[in-house]
Copies of this chain bind each other. A is one copy, B any other.
Amino acid sequence: MDNTAIYRIPYGLYYLGTSNGAKQNICVVNTVAQVTDTPQRISVTVLKTNLTCEMITASGTFSAAILDIDSTLEDVAHFGQQSGRSTDKLTGMDIQNDTLGNPLYIQNCAAALSAAVVQKIDLGTHMLFIGEVKDASVLSDKTPLTYAEYRARKSGKTSSVQTEEQKATYQCSICHYVYDGDIPFEELPDDYVCPICKKPKSVFVKM
């Protein structure tokens, strides 16, 4: 069994906002998903030792803002790589409040959801919360950020899993322009055209 196979599952990234009245906190998770449509319910899985798990358990609500492609590594590091136990991550940041009293950080976010917990499933190391969506808004029409894209940016690579060594080179058979984009040629849209002679992707040949 290859223990790395499970890491190929794609995810988004979310600012998970919680409040226990006295304290507010936001962390970054990749574990938000829709589970039902009628009513609209979302699930979120949180490590039981995290402050966020305690706070959702106490308040019974949470907010989840969907990061978009323009999110900065700095913002993700600020909310994702510090513990709310030792730091007030909200101080000095542009924070809003949702209708349930949870903090929301919506910079470079595609949408925001607020949910009330209706089920709590103990998974050992993690707690799975099922929340009924009580408020929701679309914030931009930008593409949501995927966890793979974030990891790739962080490591200075593109979102392709391929390495330079594995990356094949393609050349336009008409004008001999060699594709040198950072997105693997195989992943370009079908209607990609040669930037030089404007011929279709189909005229490119693997070198």
The answer to whether A10 and B12 touch across the interface, beta carbons within 8 angstroms, is yes
Contact of A8 among B119, B124, B144, B180 (CB under 8 A): B144
The answer to whether A3 and B136 touch across the interface, beta carbons within 8 angstroms, is yes
A78 at the interface (CB under 8 A from B): no
A121 at the interface (CB under 8 A from B): yes
Contact of A35 among B123, B144, B181, B195 (CB under 8 A): B123
Within 8 Å CB of A8, what residues of B?
Answer: 66, 110-111, 138, 144
A59 at the interface (CB under 8 A from B): no
Name the segment of A20-28, A49-57, A87-95, A154-162 touching the other chain.
A154-162
Given contacts A111-B5, A111-B8, A113-B6, contact A181 B187 (CB under 8 A): no
State which residues 173-188 of A face B: CB under 8 Å. 177, 179-184, 186-188
The answer to whether B138 and A166 touch across the interface, beta carbons within 8 angstroms, is no
Within 8 Å CB of A7, what residues of B?
Answer: 34
Given contacts A8-B110, A143-B148, A177-B195, contact A123 B66 (CB under 8 A): no
The answer to whether B193 and A195 touch across the interface, beta carbons within 8 angstroms, is no
Across the A-B interface, the 7 shortest Cβ-Cβ residue pairs = A5-B136, A10-B12, A5-B111, A182-B189, A8-B111, A195-B195, A158-B189
Q: Can you report 11 A-B residue pairs in the complex whose CB atoms are below 8 A from each other? A: A5-B138, A8-B110, A38-B124, A43-B43, A69-B186, A119-B123, A123-B130, A158-B189, A179-B195, A180-B198, A181-B189
* A contacts, CB < 8 Å to B: 1-12, 31-38, 40-43, 45, 66, 69-70, 110-113, 119, 121, 123-126, 128, 130, 133-138, 141-144, 146, 148, 153, 158-162, 166, 177, 179-184, 186-193, 195-196, 198
